[in-house]
Amino acid sequence: MPPGVPAPPRPPTLPATPVAADTRDTVAAIYRAHARELWRVLGRLGVPPAAVEDALHDLFIVVQRKLPGFEHRAALRTWLYAIAVRIARRYRERLRRDAHDPEQDVVSPARPPDRALLDAEAVRVLDELLSRLPEAKREVFVLHEVEELSAPQIATILGINLNTVYSRLREARKAFVREHSRHRFLGGDAP
């Protein structure tokens, strides 16, 4: 700078990223190990297919933020599913608020077209039947029957009594069987 001309103000220095390198590495390892199952559970818990990627991203933002305080009082998988349930609830609430219809699953081009069509139809029917369950029962049903978590794990994830898990699961199974029977009886065109 020429003499007598004040130097322009320096831009404020940004603080170092609040996420330590070891936390980033840990989050990346958790992502590699659990992203696929968390993607699936978010969809089964009612996150629209078009929003699952965003929901998964939101989930890992929470993981990154909360990981340093994770005390291992529950298994890592249980902790992740608890976050997934809360994220799915937010997305379902947003869906209700916006009155947006969920989009259909996209068929993977890696499978033969006839198999892909059958798989897509099975997934569509499962999602349709799950959508008819009350939310509290749906969460328990998906976590137990689809994700194969134990009742004590589900109680921890949802923050409810173990007997409540068993009660909701029993009722959800009855409702699912009833809806499945109705769907089959009506030829798949049940409202």
The answer to whether the beta carbons of residues 76 and 131 sit under 8 Å apart is no
pLDDT digits (tens, 9 = 90+) for 2-45: 455 444 444 333 333 444 668 889 999 999 999 999 999 999 99
**Residue whose pair of structure tokens reads 């996209």 in the numeric block:** 106
- Whether the pLDDT of residue 93 is over 70: the answer is yes
Beta-carbon contacts of 90 under 8 Å, excluding residues fewer than 6 positions away, are: 58
Confidence band of 1 (pLDDT split at 50, 70, 90): very low
- Which tokens in the block code for residue 23? 């936390």
- What CATH number was assigned to the domain covering residues 19-100? 1.10.1740.10
pTM > 0.95: no
Percentage of residues of the chain with pLDDT beyond 70: 75
Q: Count CB atoms within 10 A of the CB of residue 44.
A: 23
- Which tokens in the block code for residue 121? 């139809």
Beta-carbon contacts of 191 under 8 Å, excluding residues fewer than 6 positions away, are: none
pLDDT digits (tens, 9 = 90+) for 57-66: 999 999 999 9
Length of the chain: 191
| End-to-end Cα, the chain, rounded Å | 75
Amino acid at position 131, single letter: S
Beta-carbon contacts of 129 under 8 Å, excluding residues fewer than 6 positions away, are: 176, 179, 180, 183
d(CA 40, CA 147): 9
- What CATH number was assigned to the domain covering residues 112-191? 1.10.10.10
Give residue limits of the domains in the chain.
Answer: 19-100, 112-191
pLDDT digits (tens, 9 = 90+) for 116-153: 667 777 778 888 888 889 999 999 999 999 888 999 99
Mean pLDDT of 158-177: 94
